[in-house]
Amino acid sequence: MDEQIYIQNTAFEPIKLPDPPQIVEAGTVKNEKLPDSYVEVIGVRNPSTKARNIRYRVVVKPGWCCSFTILWDSVVVDRKSLETAIVNAGTLVGIGDGRGSIGYGRFDVTSFAIF
């Protein structure tokens, strides 16, 4: 399997995340000069311990899309429940770091098919 990570924009043109990824420290580059994909490095404070942690967040400009395949046991989880869980994950939770408190990683499911 290819070790590179690929996603697509909404015109289905591939966007390859660079290897090694371009690292951008938060707040050091103006928005209009940011690349299409990069890794944001930002310091955050843990509210429970007050310690500072470094976060590395993959950033892709709006308009990205991807496709993936899920293998699951349909005896345990029926098709409609799986589809509902994925749609709700995109709407309510998102993927990646920063999804809960600052709303990063939200997505819409545009197609759900069983093969």
pTM: 0.59
* Contact status, residue 103 vs residue 112, Cβ threshold 8 Å: no
Q: What is the pLDDT of residues 67-103, one digit of tens each?
A: 778 888 989 999 999 999 989 988 888 877 666 667 6
Beta strands in 17-109 (DSSP E): 23-25, 37-45, 52-60, 64-65
| pLDDT at residue number 8 | 62
| pLDDT at residue number 83 | 92
Q: What is the pLDDT of residues 52-74, one digit of tens each?
A: 888 877 777 777 777 778 888 98
Distance CA 31, CA 51 (A): 28
Q: What is the pLDDT of residues 18-59, one digit of tens each?
A: 666 677 777 777 767 777 777 878 888 888 888 888 887 777
Buried/exposed code over 18-33 (b: 16+ C-beta within 10 A; e: otherwise): eeeeeebeeeeeeeee
